[in-house]
Structure 1
Amino acid sequence: MLFALMAAALLASPGLIGDRLEIPEGLVSAFSIVGRILMVVAVGWTATTIIDALIKRRMARLDLEAEDNLAARKMATRLDVIRRIVLVIGAFITLAAALTAIPGVRQIGVSLFASAGIAGIALGLAARPMLSNLIAGLQIAFTQPIRLDDAVVVENEWGWIEEIGLFYVVIRIWDWRRLVVPLSYFIEKPFQNWTRKSASIIGTVTWDLDYRAPVKAMRAKLEDICKGTPLWDKDVVNLQVVEAAGSSITVRALASARTSPRAWDLRCLIREEMICWLQEEFPEALPHIRAEASIRRRQEEEPMAPGVAERGFTPDDSLNKTDAGKSP
């Protein structure tokens, strides 16, 4: 509004005061040019502001705090990316239109509109990383490999999509760090999205135990642990022996939860409760290190070496003395 008022004043001033004062032709022309520029800026700023306000108003109505917020996150991601792109395009068009109001650089404004010429090609090559990220933003807005608040694993870091900008994505790591990744990364490289179709996820817990571990009793205990906590979504619960090699077996438990953070807490709860239960009820199930030692007794007495009889040693005593202090 301020720009529009200033533009109107500059455009009208030569006519209002031209009868009373002689204004140089150059000054009248400058007033006219500045007035047209301000008018273009006012129109462009008003249009982009209205569109930005409408998109933000629509985003404010989305319930992102709901437990099943998949549809809301889809719409919020699309609207947020579109809003940022509209702002950039609006600024570009406003700049080009403002340049056309200046006689000396009018051709530059026309070239910006036409996107032609060697200068435009050179600019495009120089801005290739920026343009690739901008195009990746459009792809993400409509194909949505990621969405706001998605749980992802990127560069071996687990976290949530906190912000999707025009050129980068901010990931909030579980320990409150922030990982900033270019938008093109999610188009060109593989990554894990734990909430692509649904927020529900299966958590895994493993133990290395002794062969005497009570697998059937552990399976029943796992069900009791899951039934006693609201972290479990009452969908998947299972326990299996997935490996038996060497001196121990590997037991794996599966349990599902509604969200990734709840699945993490459920995994920790199952791990702790099961270890405490085994310590109290089946301590023999915990890992043990087995060692087997055997002494082969001589069937026939061998002749003693010279000097052994004088020292009062027997063959068995010599063996005991040699092995003294060694654990079997």
Structure 2
Amino acid sequence: MPSTVKAVLIVVAATGAAILAVTVLHWLLARLGRRSKLAADLARTAHKPFLATMILFALQQALRVVTNEFPGRDGVLHALVILFIAAFAWLVAAFLLALEDAALAHWRTDVPDNLRRRRFKTQIVMLRRITVATIVVLTLGVVLMTFPGIRALGASVLASAGIVSVIAALAAQSTLGNVFAGLQLAFSDAVRVDDVVVVEGEWGRIEEMTLTYVAVQIWDDRRLLMPTSYFTTKPFQNWTRSSSAVLGTAEVDVDWSTEIEPLRAELRATCEGSELWDGRVCVLQVTEAVGGMVRLRALVSASDAPSLWDLRCLVRERLVTFIWAHQRTALPRYRADMANVTRPVAESLRPAPRPDSDDARVFSGGDDADERAAAFGGPDEQMHVSARR
């Protein structure tokens, strides 16, 4: 009994010391968190995994040192080792995720000219998923290696790894292709989170990127989910790859009698009077003059795609309103020749006389025409032509 009581007291003391150490460190991090957001995030996210890791480590070491052999001792120690490995992996994942969150908070994307910030956010989000997957795989591998039987089978497993890898690669070809495509997108800058794209005829914003799919938020709040391999194998439009500022057009068809300069002045006044315009481009040009109408194209610029859409609608509305109010004769017209409308209806419906000239016929009216008709008409037609001759 005395040795048992002593062992229990040592285990309890070790556990208490671990809890006390974790509590003190948590208090210090919380104090530092008043001045550092990273310390505050670590105090919040890493407290539980750190506490579990320290308690399991203290229990394991105490049992190894102070206890003698008892039934199930090896099983208990093995279970503590596995739990300690899992808790330590949890702690590492929490620490890395806190660092990534701090980086994302520092490089926010809700600011003007956020190209580099969006690139950095995309890479961090992809690395977060890779980090979690890597930690899980490594943890499972380390846990399995704690079993002596699995270590003994290592040689045979390595010998058959080539065949297994080939089978797995064939079975997961599509999935692996999307995974590698996701890594390529993360570091090639072809597309980033918050980029404005046109995919499959839909205009939207890259909302989320994973290793296997990309979520595109359509302008009407629908979500278009595309495999990551789509963006590496098919063409798409990226409106914000080099800059968030974009150009757009608003087209209006008018009559040939339209005065262009007043409309150009109205376009300039509209752009300068709107906060949607970024001050770069405001041009009105005649792009077509065919089919009885003149096509005017207003080319304007904005700092981002949503502002450009509203600015295009505003320009189109102001130009239409100006034309209706000041140049109503400039509305599109359809012209027709009305010179012969007084001809009698009966005369216009009278059938034209049948031409008697052979020059008006191809398959009748002469020897050459009859032979041509027989060639296209078949054997029966050839007999009729011979009979006529």
Interval of TM-score (by shorter of Structure 1 and Structure 2): 0.7 to 0.9
Alignment-derived partner of residue 5 in structure 1: 55
Asked whether 1:153 is paired with 2:198, we answer yes
Give the TM-score normalised by the residue count of structure 1: 0.82
Q: Which whole-Å deviations, capped at 9, do the CAs of 1:107-162 have from their partners, x for residues lacking one? A: 67789999933223322322222222222222122111111111111111111111
Unpaired segments of 5 or more residues in structure 2?
1-50, 349-389
Relative to 1, partners in 2 of residues 1:98 and 1:296: Cα closer, same or farther, differing over 3 Å? closer
Equivalent pairs: percent with the same residue? 38
Give the TM-score normalised by the residue count of structure 2: 0.70
Match of 2:135 among 77, 87, 90: 90
Asked whether 1:117 is paired with 2:162, we answer yes
Relative to 1, partners in 2 of residues 1:3 and 1:115: Cα closer, same or farther, differing over 3 Å? farther
Question: What is the alpha-carbon distance in structure 2 between the residues aligned to residue 261 and residue 108 of structure 1?
Answer: 60
Match of 1:249 among 287, 294, 298: 294
Alignment-derived partner of residue 284 in structure 2: 239
Question: What is the alpha-carbon distance in structure 2 between the residues aligned to residue 111 and residue 182 of structure 1?
Answer: 37
Alignment-derived partner of residue 70 in structure 1: 115
Question: What is the alpha-carbon distance in structure 2 between the residues aligned to residue 121 and residue 183 of structure 1?
Answer: 23
Alignment-derived partner of residue 103 in structure 1: 148
Match of 2:326 among 260, 268, 281: 281
Q: CA deviation at 1:74?
A: 1.4
Q: CA deviation at 1:229?
A: 1.0
Relative to 1, partners in 2 of residues 1:227 and 1:12: Cα closer, same or farther, differing over 3 Å? same
Asked whether 1:45 is paired with 2:90, we answer yes
Which is helix-richer, 1 or 2? 2
Question: What is the alpha-carbon distance in structure 1 between the residues aligned to residue 90 and residue 313 of structure 2?
Answer: 53
Alignment-derived partner of residue 55 in structure 1: 100
Q: Specify the SS of the correspondent of 2:99.
A: helix
Question: What is the alpha-carbon distance in structure 2 between the residues aligned to residue 270 and residue 148 of structure 1?
Answer: 30
How big is the alpha-carbon RMSD for the aligned residues of Structure 1 and Structure 2? Answer: 2.7
Match of 1:223 among 244, 264, 268: 268
Question: What is the alpha-carbon distance in structure 2 between the residues aligned to residue 295 and residue 95 of structure 1?
Answer: 92
Question: What is the alpha-carbon distance in structure 1 between the residues aligned to residue 157 and residue 137 of structure 2?
Answer: 9
Question: What is the alpha-carbon distance in structure 1 between the residues aligned to residue 258 and residue 159 of structure 2?
Answer: 75
Q: Which whole-Å deviations, capped at 9, do the CAs of 1:203-234 have from their partners, x for residues lacking one? A: 10111221112222212221111111111111
Alignment-derived partner of residue 313 in structure 1: none
The residue type paired with residue 43 of structure 1 is F
The residue type paired with residue 115 of structure 2 is L
Relative to 1, partners in 2 of residues 1:199 and 1:280: Cα closer, same or farther, differing over 3 Å? same
Q: Are the counterparts in 2 of residues 152 and 192 from structure 1 also a CA contact under 8 Å?
A: yes
Question: What is the alpha-carbon distance in structure 2 between the residues aligned to residue 244 and residue 255 of structure 1?
Answer: 21
Q: Specify the SS of the correspondent of 2:180.
A: helix
Alignment-derived partner of residue 35 in structure 1: 80
Match of 1:133 among 166, 178, 192: 178
The runs of 4+ residues in structure 1 deviating greater than 4 Å are 10-17, 107-115, 320-323
Question: What is the alpha-carbon distance in structure 2 between the residues aligned to residue 190 and residue 98 of structure 1?
Answer: 45
Question: What is the alpha-carbon distance in structure 2 between the residues aligned to residue 111 and residue 59 of structure 1?
Answer: 45
Q: Specify the SS of the correspondent of 2:240.
A: coil
Q: Are the counterparts in 2 of residues 209 and 286 from structure 1 also a CA contact under 8 Å?
A: yes
Unpaired segments of 5 or more residues in structure 1?
298-315, 324-328
Alignment-derived partner of residue 28 in structure 2: none
Q: CA deviation at 1:58?
A: 0.9
Q: Specify the SS of the correspondent of 1:233.
A: strand
Q: Specify the SS of the correspondent of 1:236.
A: strand
Relative to 1, partners in 2 of residues 1:109 and 1:39: Cα closer, same or farther, differing over 3 Å? farther
Q: Are the counterparts in 2 of residues 199 and 260 from structure 1 also a CA contact under 8 Å?
A: yes
Higher relative contact order (CA 8 A, sep 6+): 1
Q: Are the counterparts in 2 of residues 10 and 34 from structure 1 also a CA contact under 8 Å?
A: no
Asked whether 1:167 is paired with 2:217, we answer no
